[in-house]
Amino acid sequence: MAKAHALSAALLLVMSVSLSALGGVHGICGMSNDEFKLCRPAAAVNNPTDSPSADCCAALGKANLSCICRYKGIAGICLRKYHIDAKRALALPGKCGLTMPNNCA
């Protein structure tokens, strides 16, 4: 049980550090800060758009989808700070016609 809590805490720390990069030039999962913002409307917690924009899909096409899978589950809680629903965000590649890695399903 203690290992699970330690793993969760470590994962949240990694996510926090990763998300702090959103303000910088490095972005997240191979997407720049500007590319990440292109997908925000379709993954918003409140009033999301029905589908991602073509620009969002183009950005996701260059993204590291395995990295995006890491935001599934407890790590996705950190995304709420940015008003992003992790479940919606994880659905975006599929809406763009991209195939998520098998270990992400």
List the CATH number of the domain containing 35.
1.10.110.10
Q: With respect to residue 58, please indicate whether it lies within any of the assigned structural domains.
A: yes
């699970």: which residue's tokens?
A: 4
Q: With respect to residue 82, please indicate whether it lies within any of the assigned structural domains.
A: yes
Cβ 85 vs Cβ 45: under 8 Å: yes
Q: With respect to residue 19, please indicate whether it lies within any of the assigned structural domains.
A: no
Count of structural domains within the chain: 1
The pLDDT tens digits for 40-81 are 999 999 999 999 999 999 999 999 998 888 877 776 777 788
| Residue 47: domain span | 27-104
Angle subtended at Cα 53 by Cα 24 and Cα 22, rounded to the nearest 5 degrees: 10
pLDDT, the chain, mean: 77
- Output 90 or 15, whichever has higher pLDDT: 90
Residue 39 — very low, low, confident or very high, per pLDDT cuts 50/70/90?
very high
Q: Please state whether the predicted TM-score (pTM) of the whole model is above 0.75.
A: no
Q: What pLDDT score was predicted for residue 10? A: 34
Q: What pLDDT score was predicted for residue 105? A: 63
Residue 38 — very low, low, confident or very high, per pLDDT cuts 50/70/90?
very high
Three-class secondary structure assignment of 52-97: CCHHHHHHHHHCCHHHHHCCCHHHHHHHHHHCECHHHHHHHHHHCC
Q: With respect to residue 20, please indicate whether it lies within any of the assigned structural domains.
A: no
Residue 17 — very low, low, confident or very high, per pLDDT cuts 50/70/90?
very low
- Dihedral sign of CA atoms 31, 11, 51, 61 in order: positive
